[in-house]
């Protein structure tokens, strides 16, 4: 990612609909001004969004063009219904540009599965990702695709945000990050049509010319996130949040660094909070790995909680809630706690992330809430690959009381992704996909309601390399 003690950021967002709306010209001019006036910085892969996501490496062979096409067939279980499924995946890889396109068609006794292709936006949903990164300096990163994991700054406002938690309604967004010696600029949007969640970060290192190595690491960050989905006036968003943070390296330990940070965040029309913590981290450990250990404390006022724009935001926000699955016929039975009903409390966050570039990732994050409400959250990402096997697992859980409630049955506030690709023989591959996601259920009060949906798909077929 960035320099060995760098930090990442973000800025913009969108949803399907309103194709005539585009990002204001002044934003584009501002970004261009930064690119022209500031020199680029050498560094490791950017620590922002999916920039270092090992699952998006199409092939392990470096510095070569590589193209693959998978043609698979099998079965699909969505909810209580089995269907047949056919899937085609095309992957393209060059040193600077990587892309993956995936299309799946399902049909059964009741006909084809409608959400596969029932609106023009489904054409965009065939894009898994298209990403660009300058290999020579790694200072510029851009990506278009479904948003899998965005953290804005320290994650005080935006943490593990994704646009895929309601899979049939997933949106195709964009991520951008650029670094210079003094300035970092990052931005994201959950939809290439500007009609949803957008966020950005501007970070400045004002003491880059100091003789003190630790002083040069001082970073001041400003973060902003907004949700304009369904709003007729962009000046009156559904949600807007502001966040400032400061961090610096207190000590260098070989190739690692201890970086304390402090953060203050406010949600417009709601509450606010402050946080202090420290990361023990290395962006590039002996050129093969990176790791991060975090311990942080947060104080929250009424109407605020850390990482509110997170894993479940698209199904649990000021305009949407999750319905309790045991009470399918009663739309008033909901899970979770609306933001205005959040009471004051404190949170303790622990995190461990270990990444071997392109091959292995373990990312654990648990935020324990101390208060009267069940507001603890848990996130886990696990990935590894060999020449014959690739396995990916991700789980997000909310509404937890404490750490030991992780061992309870999975509740309605659970999102899960599991996929394995196994090279059975030569060009023959067995692929298994499973996902705990959400489907929309409209309600009479105009609020969006979502219900848990389970999906399971075993597929078998050919992988051809060009």
pLDDT at 78: 95
| 41 or 83, greater pLDDT | 83
Residue 14 has pLDDT above 60, yes or no: no
Q: Phi-psi category of 190—alpha, beta or left, where left has phi over 0 and alpha has psi -120 to 50?
A: alpha
b/e 425-460 (16+ beta carbons within 10 angstroms → b): eeeebbbbbbbbbbbbeeeeeeebbbbbbebebbbe
CB atoms < 10 A from the CB of 181, how many? Answer: 16
Quote the CA–CA distance of 261 and 103 in Å, as a whole number. 43
pLDDT at 231: 64
pLDDT at 43: 42
The per-residue pLDDT for range 31-75, each reduced to its tens digit, is 433 333 343 333 456 789 998 899 987 654 544 557 889 999 999
CB 259 within 8 A of CB 249: yes
Mean pLDDT of the chain, nearest integer: 85
Which helix H or strand E contains 97, and what residues bound it?
Answer: strand 97-108
The predicted model gives 243-256 an average pLDDT of 93
User: pLDDT grade, residue 138 (50/70/90)?
Assistant: low
CB 346 within 8 A of CB 299: yes
Strand, coil or helix: 268: coil
Residue 377 has pLDDT above 80, yes or no: yes
Which DSSP letter does residue 358 get? T
CA dist 65 to 58, 96, 194, 352, Å? 10, 10, 33, 34
Structure tokens given for 338 = 């609306």
pLDDT at 46: 78
Q: Please state, for a pLDDT cut of 90, what percent of the chain lies above it.
A: 62
Q: What are phi and psi of 163, to 5 degrees?
A: -110, 20
* Nearest partner of 134 among 220, 205, 219, 35, judged by Cα: 35
Quote the CA–CA distance of 348 and 369 in Å, as a whole number. 7
For residue 189, how many C-alpha atoms fall within 13 Å in the half-sphere facing its CB?
A: 20
CB 128 within 8 A of CB 36: no
Quote the CA–CA distance of 263 and 318 in Å, as a whole number. 24
Q: Please state, for a pLDDT cut of 70, what percent of the chain lies above it.
A: 85
Residue 134 has pLDDT above 80, yes or no: no
């Amino acid at each position: 990612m960035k320099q060995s003690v760098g930090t990442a950021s973000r800025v913009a967002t969108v949803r399907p609909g309103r194709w005539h709306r585009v990002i204001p010209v002044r934003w584009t001019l501002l970004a261009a001004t930064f690119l022209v006036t500031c020199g680029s910085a050498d560094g490791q892969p950017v620590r922002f969004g999916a920039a270092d996501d090992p699952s998006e490496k199409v092939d392990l062979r470096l510095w070569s063009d590589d193209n693959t096409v998978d043609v698979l067939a099998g079965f699909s279980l969505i909810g209580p219904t089995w269907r047949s499924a056919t899937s085609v995946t095309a992957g393209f890889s060059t040193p600077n540009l990587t892309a993956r396109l995936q299309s799946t068609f399902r049909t059964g006794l009741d006909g084809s599965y409608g959400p596969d292709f029932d609106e023009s936006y489904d054409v965009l949903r065939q894009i898994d990702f298209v990403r660009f990164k300058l290999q020579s300096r790694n200072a510029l990163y851009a990506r278009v695709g479904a948003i899998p994991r965005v953290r804005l700054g320290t994650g005080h406002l935006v943490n593990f945000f994704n646009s895929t938690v309601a899979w049939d309604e997933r949106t195709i967004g964009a991520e951008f990050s650029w670094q210079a010696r003094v300035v970092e600029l990052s931005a994201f949007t959950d939809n290439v049509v500007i009609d949803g969640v957008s966020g950005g970060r501007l970070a400045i290192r004002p003491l880059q010319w100091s003789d003190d190595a630790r002083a040069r690491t001082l970073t001041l960050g400003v973060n902003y996130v907004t949700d304009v989905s369904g709003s007729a006036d962009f000046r009156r968003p559904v949600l807007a949040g502001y966040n400032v943070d400061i961090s610096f390296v207190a000590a260098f330990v070989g190739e690692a660094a201890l970086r304390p940070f402090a953060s203050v965040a406010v949600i417009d029309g709601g509450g606010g909070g402050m946080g202090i913590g420290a990361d023990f981290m290395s962006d590039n450990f002996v050129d093969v790995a990176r790791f991060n250990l975090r311990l942080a404390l947060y104080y929250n006022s009424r109407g605020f909680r850390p990482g509110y724009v997170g894993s479940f935001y698209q199904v649990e926000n000021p305009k949407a809630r999750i319905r309790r699955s045991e009470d399918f016929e009663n739309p008033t039975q909901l899970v979770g706690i609306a933001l205005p009903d959040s009471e004051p409390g404190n949170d303790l966050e622990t995190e461990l992330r270990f990444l071997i570039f392109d091959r292995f990732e373990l990312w654990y994050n648990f935020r324990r809430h101390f208060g009267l409400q069940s507001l603890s959250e848990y996130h886990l990402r696990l990935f590894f690959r060999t020449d014959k096997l690739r396995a990916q697992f991700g789980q997000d859980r909310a509404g937890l009381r404490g750490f030991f409630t992780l061992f309870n049955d999975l509740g309605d506030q659970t999102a899960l992704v599991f996929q394995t690709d196994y090279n059975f023989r030569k060009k023959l591959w067995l692929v298994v996909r499973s996902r705990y996601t959400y489907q929309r259920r409209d309600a009479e009060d105009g609020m969006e309601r979502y219900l848990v949906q389970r999906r399971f798909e075993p597929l078998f077929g050919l992988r051809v390399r060009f």
